[in-house]
Amino acid sequence: MMDKKDQYILAIETSCDETAVAIVKNGKELLSNAVASQIESHKRFGGVVPEIASRHHIEQITIVLEQALNEAKVTMEEIDAIAVTEGPGLVGALLIGVNAAKALAFAHQKPLVGVHHIAGHIYANRLEKEFSFPLLALVVSGGHTELILMKEHGDFQVIGETRDDAAGEAYDKVAKALGLPYPGGPHIDRLASEGKAAIDFPRAWLEEGSYDFSFSGLKTAVINTLHNASQKGETLKKEDIAASFQESVIDVLVTKTYRAAQEYQVNQLIVAGGVAANKGLRAKLQEQFAETDIEVLIPPLSLCTDNAAMIAAAGSIAFEQGHRAGLDLNANPSLSLERYARRSRK
Amino acid sequence: MNILAIDTSNQVMSTAVLNGEQLIAEYTTNVKKNHSIALMPAVEKVLKEAGLSPEDLNKIVVARGPGSYTGVRIGVTTAKTMAWTLNIPVVGVSSLEAAAFNGLYFPGLICSFFDARRGRVFAGVYQPEDGELNTVLDEQNVLFTDWLEELKHQQEKVLFIGNDFSLHRENIMECLGDQAVIAEPYYHIPRAAVLGYIGKDRDEEVIHSFTPNYLRLAEAEAKWLKARGRDNE
Ligand SMILES: [Zn+2]
């Protein structure tokens, strides 16, 4: 017999180029985490093509749903609520997940819960370790670079964000300039570990006290350096370019994160998003926070990139807090985290 | 046999419940509104009107395109996910065929079409025979002026059905003159009652691999193939 007090959340995430479904028990226990990645298809284009992403999602959605339910050995009847990423992301891609979630919720008369993608990235960590508030989250991915303060569950205060390119975007663009395949982040991370940070690339600190970020100047500086060298017939070591670029990115990220963590006297630092997989960033953060009482949580690689387990984890709390979406739930490609945190409870 | 039918392939959104071939409830709108917001509440409404709950459904019929990529995907995602989770068959019917069915008693050819921007249309030509439509010209994504030239050669009266009719009226009259017959406004609206009727006895799809019929490659894909000398379009 199933314990009635247990809570089972089925979550769907289709905001970009992964079709993902997961089932999480009691907000913390991952029962299944199915992901169909489209990355091979988008590689041809050097980036994610929205229309093609949408087409792949609709090809995969029921396959991934079935896989998640089978792996978790859970039936739809046992599910307490359906959680789904409602934004931000690519609108056509989000729509597949949102409509599939609504179809499931309606077919089985289950509650529906909308989840913000970044809230999901943060909550991925709760599958590993219980939160201790206040906590600071550094979210770094292809689409996001944000510092978020959380004083309690469901509360998200954005204290810093990028004013231009996201960190992951800068990685992809620099990788492209270096002739590395898409997605470039892991390639740069690997090259950087083999090179020396010999070139002093700029660091954008912005106004004093600001927790905002800017990476477009750095990206331009790298591209200009490569261009100038090739005009002079010089060849720069790719490893050194990668190491110098990465050092500049990490220096700014870690310094600002450390300062914010001190100012807000947080108990935990959570690192989330695809760039959290970056080995250089992980090492530098561990080193910087080693002397403090602040606990640094970095999810395992499989929970750093987009997945539905994180949406289930965030959806679990939202469900407990009484948040419900109607059957008129829509995809919101530019959903802000703070507006999401202030949404009313139905 | 309770059938749920869904068409969100263009501006018109229509959903219906049929018992066998008999319509029980239908909800149809022709407004510029987001189908993603409106479809599920509409499905809930027609089922409620029909006094059915989701598990009473025996089959889902959906318009699988061509049409608006996003619109078609909303309908197909909803239909295939519902059918999969309720363990019932799903049937995909051409959105053009469903629209053309409104002209079933026309003594000539029926051309249904949807605007596809930049002078292009999604269009097909059918001939009614014994309560069914035979395909005369396969569905295509084509320049409408080229398509009209083709129709001219058919030398038969052609009934035009398409909700974007006003955009193309002049072109049609100029090219075909008396050969063209324009349906009354209400015939231009594809209805889920008709869609469900067409799909009621058709073969079911393999749910996992069931996808929209876009009738056109994604732009990036077409360019990619072209760059490799494999122009499939
Ligand atoms: Zn993400």
| pTM, entire model | 0.94
Best residue in B81, B82, B87 for a mutation probing chain A (most A CBs within 10 Å): B81
Closest residue of B to A67, CA-based? Answer: B208
Report ipTM for this prediction.
Answer: 0.96
Instruction: Please indicate, yes or no, whether residues A161 and A262 belong to a single structural domain of this protein.
Output: yes
Does residue A51 lie within any of the structural domains?
A: yes
Does B232 have pLDDT greater than 70?
Answer: no
Those of residues 138-157 in A touching chain B at CB distance below 8 A are: none
Instruction: Please indicate, yes or no, whether residues A152 and A87 belong to a single structural domain of this protein.
Output: no
Gap from CA of A118 to ligand 1 centroid (Å): 7
A3 vs B133, higher pLDDT: B133
Instruction: Please indicate, yes or no, whether residues A314 and A289 belong to a single structural domain of this protein.
Output: no
**Distance (Å, rounded) from C-alpha A117 to C-alpha A136?**
17
Does residue A3 lie within any of the structural domains?
A: no
Instruction: Please indicate, yes or no, whether residues A179 and A221 belong to a single structural domain of this protein.
Output: yes
- Nearest Cα to Cα of residue A169 among A143, A202, A201: A143
Does A2 have pLDDT greater than 60?
Answer: no
The CATH number of residue A220's host domain is: 3.30.420.40
Name the pLDDT band for A90 (thresholds 50, 70, 90): very high
N residues, chain B: 233
> B-chain residues within 8 Å CB-CB of A327?
40-41, 44
Q: Is A44 part of the contact surface with chain B (CB cutoff 8 Å)?
A: yes
Does residue A1 lie within any of the structural domains?
A: no
Amino acid letter, A291: E
Q: What 3 state SS string does B10-31 have?
A: CCCEEEEEEECCEEEEEEEECC
Mean pLDDT, to the nearest integer, of B136-146?
96
Does B127 have pLDDT greater than 80?
Answer: yes
- Nearest Cα to Cα of residue B159 among B197, B133, B140: B133
Does residue A53 lie within any of the structural domains?
A: yes
**Distance (Å, rounded) from C-alpha A53 to C-alpha A175?**
22
Gap from CA of A21 to ligand 1 centroid (Å): 14
Instruction: Please indicate, yes or no, whether residues A263 and A321 belong to a single structural domain of this protein.
Output: no
pLDDT at A5: 85
pLDDT digits (tens, 9 = 90+) for A262-305: 999 999 999 998 888 899 999 999 999 999 999 999 988 889 88
> A-chain residues within 8 Å CB-CB of B78?
99-100, 102-103
pLDDT digits (tens, 9 = 90+) for A134-173: 999 999 988 889 999 999 999 999 999 999 999 998 999 9
Among the partner-chain residues B37, B84, B221, the one whose CB lies closest to the CB of A52 is: B221
**Distance (Å, rounded) from C-alpha A262 to C-alpha B100?**
68
pLDDT at A3: 52
Name the pLDDT band for B233 (thresholds 50, 70, 90): very low
pLDDT digits (tens, 9 = 90+) for B100-120: 999 999 999 999 999 999 999
Instruction: Please indicate, yes or no, whether residues A102 and A118 belong to a single structural domain of this protein.
Output: yes
A200: containing domain: 133-298
Does residue A205 lie within any of the structural domains?
A: yes
Name the pLDDT band for A346 (thresholds 50, 70, 90): low
Amino acid letter, B118: R
Gap from CA of A84 to ligand 1 centroid (Å): 13
Question: How many domains does chain A contain in total?
Answer: 2
A267: CB partners within 8 A, 6+ apart: A132, A133, A134, A135, A293, A294, A295
What's the N-to-C CA distance of chain B in angstroms? Answer: 40
Name the pLDDT band for B8 (thresholds 50, 70, 90): very high
Does residue A101 lie within any of the structural domains?
A: yes
> B-chain residues within 8 Å CB-CB of A92?
69-70, 73
Residues B41, A327: C-beta atoms closer than 8 Å: yes
Instruction: Please indicate, yes or no, whether residues A292 and A308 belong to a single structural domain of this protein.
Output: no
H-run or E-run covering A288: helix A279-289
Instruction: Please indicate, yes or no, whether residues A316 and A268 belong to a single structural domain of this protein.
Output: no
B184: CB partners within 8 A, 6+ apart: none
Q: How far is B113 from chain A (nearest CA, A)?
A: 23
Does residue A290 lie within any of the structural domains?
A: yes
Does residue A128 lie within any of the structural domains?
A: no
pLDDT at B231: 58
**Domains delineated in chain B:** 2-94+190-227 (3.30.420.40), 96-188 (3.30.420.40)
